[in-house]
Amino acid sequence: NLQIYARLYNTQGHKEKIHELLTYFEVGDMKNKIYEDLSSGQKTRVNLVKSLLNEPELILMDEPTASLDPDIADKTLSLIENWKKEKNISILYTSHNMQEVTRICDDVLFLSNGAIIEHDTPQNLARKVTKAELILTYEKDPKLAFEYLQTRTIPYEHKHPNQLTIQTQEAEIPRIIFDISKTGLWMNDITINKPTLEDFFLQISRKKNEAI
């Protein structure tokens, strides 16, 4: 299968090239197996080998990990990341998985009805989501802390014992932590979950649905 494609691509030294790629993507022991007998993860990596035989400068990947188990998907992404860095190739990557997009892509386009509606780096797009999540794990009575949050109309949740989850503007987090500490709340742990590309994706999706 791979040798046929290598000849179609007129790949020089194609046997050595196939061996190199199969070894790199960790499917070298599959070279004598029938393609249809391979698992989804193995097929994905063999397809990557096939697409790289002629050393392209640009590769199109459409949901390459869609049918893979999480551990196999993670391994495949790591191989793609490393190959991209080593060979300095460009990848046009389409996916609804924003964690994957953040890992693979330097530049992100969001499309709606064939039109570009957002375009920036993953980091800059995530910064457009101003809300962040502050999680406080505490001891002692949180009553005064609750009163402070209610007075300032700051949204919060108290779903778990000794844990307070606050939704707020990222810029407000230092002030909130300082003010809550003054209420006498003893904080054992502070976790700040900053916005991600996934949050931005959900934000623009909801706006689109509201407009409809």
Residue type, 105: C
For residue 78, report the phi and psi dihedrals to the nearest 5 degrees.
-60, -40
Q: What are the residues whose beta carbons fall under 8 Å from the beta carbon of 55, sequence distance 6 or more?
A: 87
User: Does residue 156 register a pLDDT over 90?
Assistant: yes
Q: What is the mean pLDDT of residues 157-178?
A: 91
pLDDT value, residue 208:
66
Question: Same topology for domains 2-105 and 130-194, yes or no?
Answer: no
CATH domain 130-194 topology: Alpha-Beta Plaits (3.30.70)
The rounded distance, in Å, linking the Cα atoms of 153 and 175 is: 14
Structural fold of domain 2-105: Rossmann fold (3.40.50)
Where is average pLDDT lowest: 69-83, 84-98, 106-120? 69-83
Averaged pLDDT for residues 84-108: 93
Q: Which of the 8 DSSP states describes residue 28?
A: G
Reply yes or no on whether the pLDDT at 64 is more than 60.
Answer: yes
Average pLDDT over residues 44-54: 87
Mean pLDDT across 143-161: 91
pLDDT at residue 136 greater than cutoff 90: yes
Tell me the whole-structure pTM to 2 decimals: 0.71
pLDDT of residue 104: 94
Quick one: pLDDT at residue 209?
A: 61
Residue 61 reports pLDDT greater than 70: yes
Mean pLDDT of 177-182: 94
Mean pLDDT (the chain) is 89
Domains of the chain, residue spans? 2-105, 130-194
Q: Write the pLDDT tens digit of every residue in 12-46.
A: 888 898 888 888 888 888 888 888 998 888 888 88
| Per-residue pLDDT, 211 | 44
What number of helices (H) and strands (E) belong to the chain? 9, 8
Q: Which helix (H) or strand (E) holds 4?
A: helix 2-8
